[in-house]
Amino acid sequence: MKDILVEKLREDRDLSDSQLKALIESDEHDAALMKAADEVRRAHYGDRVYLRGLIEISSYCKNNCLYCGLRAGNRNAERYRLSEEQILSCCEEGYELGYRTFVLQGGEDPYFTDEMICEIVRQIKKRYPDCAVTLSLGEKPRESYEKYHEAGADRYLLRHETADAEHYAKLHPGDMSLENRKRCLYDLKEIGFQVGSGFMVGSPYQTTENLIADLRFLQRLQPDMIGIGPYITHKDTPFKDQQGGSLELSLRMLSILRLMFPYALLPSTTALGTIDPMGRELGLKAGGNVVMPNLSPTDVREKYAIYDNKICTGEESAQCRRCLEMRIESAGYRAVTDRGDVKRG
């Protein structure tokens, strides 16, 4: 028997708010939802899973997001920064492993001036002209984004976190606003970046209505990539007693996103792999088509602790590439390392 709601979502790439609510709040559509998401993913991307080499360049952050272990107020956080030389040697290693996208991610660290970021981007593009450079360095003035793009950066990841201003205010201190976050995202699009946004699933105080608002916002923004993952508690944050997001709801939202945004790059995130040993495989089966193995030097990985019990931070992490390839295959897909620019249609 066909699931009418799921088929309507597949067909129209859209549903009414009340239909979305029904889908989000019940587990009875899950099997049909995941099956449809996998079919749509295969129609657009076959069995390909794109690998992006992630380099965590700084664990310093001037912000104080209430959910994040790297928040400025966390005196227990261990801080580090990679030098330009270290970043370039991560890229060298990644390039030899076959990676053709490098993602430079970090907290909002004023130590890295625009000039430094641009120089790093120029160096990577000069040495590896066939590679895409993705930045994920938070909220900046439009002029900074323009400089990064001018220097050769191709893509920018900035999750909107939640599209409801009241909810946003519960997750962030008063000096941050949803308005500025949106301004950043629209600036990035206008400048010509391929843009990634996204949100946490099961973040404190999140309602179904908030999740629907997230989907509506993404329909307006039309990002190339959408990163979602479960909220995971960090012990040294004001949210230390809050519950984490569930695997089930995270997978359900991933499948809904695949049906609403068939063309999108949807990562199966480390956060999914952290809350369940098979989380990343399940994320791929639910519609995900990107994984981002960590290329950061192994001795700093533990320090990039945005949430508790993050995987791939210990000894085993030198083997992430092999480990992930095996996991991708075991889930029924194939790892590819090419740039994998988004194809809309």
Residue 61 interface partner, choices ligand 5AD, ligand SF4, ligand FES, none, CB cut-off 5-8 Å depending on type: ligand SF4
Specify the residue, 161 or 187, whose C-beta has the smaller distance to ligand 5AD: 161
Specify the residue, 173 or 297, whose C-beta has the smaller distance to ligand SF4: 173
Phi and psi at 319, nearest 5°, equal -100, 10
Residue 304 interface partner, choices ligand FES, ligand 5AD, ligand SF4, none, CB cut-off 5-8 Å depending on type: none
Q: CB 323 → ligand FES: shortest distance, Å?
A: 3
Q: Answer yes or no whether residue 107 interacts with ligand SF4 by CB under 6 A.
A: yes
82 burial via Cβ count (<10 Å: 0-12, 13-18, 19+):
buried
Window 267 to 286, contacts with ligand 5AD (CB under 6 A): 271
Among candidates 253, 178, 179, which has minimal Cα distance to 211? 253
How far apart CA 20 and CA 275 sit, in angstroms, is 25
Q: Answer yes or no whether residue 61 interacts with ligand 5AD by CB under 6 A.
A: no
Q: Answer yes or no whether residue 67 interacts with ligand 5AD by CB under 6 A.
A: yes
Residue 159 interface partner, choices ligand FES, ligand 5AD, ligand SF4, none, CB cut-off 5-8 Å depending on type: ligand 5AD
Q: Answer yes or no whether residue 68 interacts with ligand SF4 by CB under 6 A.
A: yes
Q: CB 92 → ligand SF4: shortest distance, Å?
A: 26
Please tell me what DSSP assigns to residue 316. G
Specify the residue, 155 or 159, whose C-beta has the smaller distance to ligand 5AD: 159
How far apart CA 166 and CA 319 sit, in angstroms, is 42
Q: Answer yes or no whether residue 202 interacts with ligand SF4 by CB under 6 A.
A: no
Pairing label, strands 290-291, 101-106 = unpaired
Among candidates 39, 45, 94, which has minimal Cα distance to 334? 45
Q: Answer yes or no whether residue 37 interacts with ligand SF4 by CB under 6 A.
A: no
The single residue listed with the structure tokens 């206008």 is 190
Q: Return the residue of 229, 267, 283, 340 that touches ligand 5AD, per CB under 6 A.
A: 229
Count of residues of this chain found to bind ligand 5AD when the rule CB under 6 A is applied: 12
How many residues are given for the chain? 345
How far apart CA 159 and CA 226 sit, in angstroms, is 8
How far apart CA 285 and CA 301 sit, in angstroms, is 27
Q: CB 61 → ligand 5AD: shortest distance, Å?
A: 10
Numbers of helices and strands, H then E, in the chain: 13, 9
How far apart CA 108 and CA 59 sit, in angstroms, is 9
How far apart CA 341 and CA 42 sit, in angstroms, is 16
Q: Answer yes or no whether residue 300 interacts with ligand SF4 by CB under 6 A.
A: no
Which residues make up the interface to ligand 5AD (CB under 6 A)?
A: 67-68, 159, 161, 200, 229, 231-232, 234, 271, 306-307
Which residues make up the interface to ligand SF4 (CB under 6 A)?
A: 61, 63, 65, 68, 70-71, 107-108, 138, 306
